[in-house]
Structure 1
Amino acid sequence: MFVYNKDSVLEDQGGGLRRKVLAYCENMMTVEVHFETGTVAPMHNHPHEQITYVVSGEFEFTVGDETKIVKAGDTVYKVPNIMHGCKCLKEGILIDNFTPMRKDFV
């Protein structure tokens, strides 16, 4: 029922990206993602619906054929199977929420 951030492991994904899986169940998942300036999350897609909340930093997101810059307090919605990716313009943290949960993350 309770997941404490201090007890979750921040895993190095390489290339300036670190990920911490927080609470999850079969139907949803929350993940904290840390980016160094200049880190690129390449264009990809997946069958999960996703909402990303920008905790800090500045990011250039491409979702489908649209590219926008987002900052702390902004959110980005991605429908299932849409191509998306981002570049970190200023070091920051994102909170990704997926439904259903990403089994490939655990």
Structure 2
Amino acid sequence: MFTFNRDVELEDLGGGLSRKVMSYSENIMTVEVHFETGTVAPMHNHPHEQLTYVKSGKFEFTVGDETKVVSEGDTIYKVPNIMHGCKCVEKGVLIDNFTPMRKDFLETSGY
């Protein structure tokens, strides 16, 4: 029922990217993603619906054909299978919510 951030290890994914897989069930997952300035999450897609909350920092996001700069307090919604990616303009943290949960995040490293 409760997941305490202090108890979850930060997983280094390399290239200025790290994450904490927080709470999850078969239907939903919350992941905290840490970016260093200049880090790029390459364009990709997946069958999961995704909602991203910008906890801190500044990011240039591309979702489909649209690119915008987002910062603390903003959210980005991604429909399943849409191409998306970002570049970290200013060091920060994103909170990603996926439905259904990302089983691949529990099995391997990588975004």
Give the TM-score of the pair, scaled to structure 1.
Answer: 0.99
> What does 1:82-93 correspond to in 2, within 5 Å?
82-93=82-93
Give the equivalent residue in structure 2 for 1:72: 72
> What does 1:1-106 correspond to in 2, within 5 Å?
1-106=1-106
After TM superposition, give the deviation of residue 7 of structure 1 in Å: 0.7
After TM superposition, give the deviation of residue 51 of structure 1 in Å: 0.2
Q: What is the identity, as a one-letter code, of the residue corresponding to 2:105? A: F
Question: Which aligned runs of 4 or more in structure 1 are off by greater than 2 angstroms?
Answer: none
* Matched residue count: 106
After TM superposition, give the deviation of residue 29 of structure 1 in Å: 0.1
After TM superposition, give the deviation of residue 11 of structure 1 in Å: 0.2
Which runs of 5 or more residues in structure 1 are unaligned? none
Report Cα offsets for 1:22-53 as digits up to 9, x if no partner.
00000000000000000000000000000000
Which runs of 5 or more residues in structure 2 are unaligned? 107-111
Percent pairwise identity: 78
In 2, Cα distance between the equivalents of 1:5 and 1:30?
Answer: 12
After TM superposition, give the deviation of residue 71 of structure 1 in Å: 0.3
Give the TM-score of the pair, scaled to structure 2.
Answer: 0.95
After TM superposition, give the deviation of residue 78 of structure 1 in Å: 0.1
Q: What is the identity, as a one-letter code, of the residue corresponding to 1:68? A: K
